[in-house]
């Protein structure tokens, strides 16, 4: 069977979330072409924040150099480290086993939600996205698609351009992890109608929504 698409949602909103709607469009199109989807909702089922034993085990692993997941497990020294590894390894495996990864990301306070950051912190255990034998970066041959939603607008030349830490953060993080095939689709001005400062921007909001929707369908068809 073909490896699945890993679809991670992080919006706290379940009714009107733009990132959930865009992600669903992508995932439905992926299924229509015969693909399978593994869905993880880090808002509904939050990933526990890292505890001290995670850092302790991580330090021990880093001192040894690149290790397999089984070799990491063999270094566990106590129940607390076991608990942290048991919370971490399945999430790491979901990413490693995926053919492609789709992240649904709302902008919260100019960056990514804490729920997504907790997932990122946990999966970023030392060395788990590199082959210990060859050093090959395991995420290099996976497609990553990020569907961003923002209440306002952050494009080049806008007054809030320098407040954008959502896409720029994910681009830096995923690039550093060895991701080479990375695509962002952003829907902007989602809060038009709710926030008076955005009055009059309805056309921009509708255009952004339509462009994002067609782009995700196009991407789901293009990525195999």
Ligand X SMILES: Cc1cc2nc3c(=O)[nH]c(=O)nc-3n(C[C@H](O)[C@H](O)[C@H](O)COP(=O)(O)O)c2cc1C
Q: Which residues bind ligand X (CB under 6 A)?
A: 11, 13, 17-20, 106-110, 149-152, 190-191
Nearer to ligand X, 19 or 24 (CB): 19
Nearest 5°: the CA angle 57, 59, 63 is 115
Residue linked to tokens 């989807």: 37
Least gap, CB of 150 to ligand X (angstroms): 4
How far is residue 3's CA from residue 99's CA, in Å, rounded to a whole number?
5
How far is residue 80's CA from residue 64's CA, in Å, rounded to a whole number?
20
Nearer to ligand X, 64 or 193 (CB): 193
Nearer to ligand X, 24 or 190 (CB): 190
Q: Is 1 annotated as a binding residue?
A: no
Q: Is 11 annotated as a binding residue?
A: yes
Least gap, CB of 100 to ligand X (angstroms): 20
Q: Is 124 annotated as a binding residue?
A: no
Least gap, CB of 66 to ligand X (angstroms): 36
- For the chain, the distance separating the N- and C-terminal CA atoms, rounded to the nearest angstrom, is 13
Q: Is 68 annotated as a binding residue?
A: no
Helix (H, G, I), strand (E, B) or coil at 134: coil
How far is residue 76's CA from residue 126's CA, in Å, rounded to a whole number?
14
Q: Is 10 annotated as a binding residue?
A: no
Q: What are φ and ψ of residue 10, in 5° steps?
A: -135, 5
Nearer to ligand X, 35 or 106 (CB): 106
Nearer to ligand X, 8 or 57 (CB): 8
Least gap, CB of 184 to ligand X (angstroms): 14
Element (H, E) at 36: none
Q: Is 154 annotated as a binding residue?
A: no
Residue 96 makes CB contacts below 8 A (sequence gap 6+) with 128, 129, 138
Least gap, CB of 215 to ligand X (angstroms): 16
* Annotated binding-site ranges: 11, 17-19, 107-110
* Annotated binding-site ranges for FMN: 11, 17-19, 107-110
């Amino acid at each position: 069977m073909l490896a699945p698409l890993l679809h991670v949602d992080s919006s706290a909103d379940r009714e009107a979330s733009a990132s959930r709607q865009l992600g669903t469009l992508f995932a439905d199109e992926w299924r229509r072409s015969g693909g399978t989807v593994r869905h993880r909702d880090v808002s509904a089922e939050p990933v526990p924040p890292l505890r001290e034993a995670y850092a302790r085990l991580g330090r021990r692993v880093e001192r040894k150099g690149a290790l397999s997941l089984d070799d990491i497990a063999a270094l566990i020294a106590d129940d607390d480290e076991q608990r942290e590894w048991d919370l971490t390894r399945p999430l790491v495996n979901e990413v490693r086993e995926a053919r492609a990864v789709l992240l649904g990301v709302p902008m919260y306070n100019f960056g990514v939600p804490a729920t997504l950051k907790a997932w990122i912190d946990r999966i970023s255990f030392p060395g788990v996205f590199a082959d210990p034998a060859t050093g090959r970066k395991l995420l290099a041959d996976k497609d990553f698609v990020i569907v961003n939603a923002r209440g306002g607008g952050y494009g080049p030349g806008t007054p809030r351009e320098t407040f954008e830490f959502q896409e720029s953060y994910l681009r830096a993080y995923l690039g550093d992890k060895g991701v080479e095939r990375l695509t962002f689709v952003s829907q902007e001005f989602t809060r038009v109608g709710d926030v008076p400062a955005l009055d009059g921007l309805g056309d921009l909001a509708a255009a952004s929504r339509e462009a994002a929707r067609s782009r995700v369908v196009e991407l789901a068809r293009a990525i195999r």
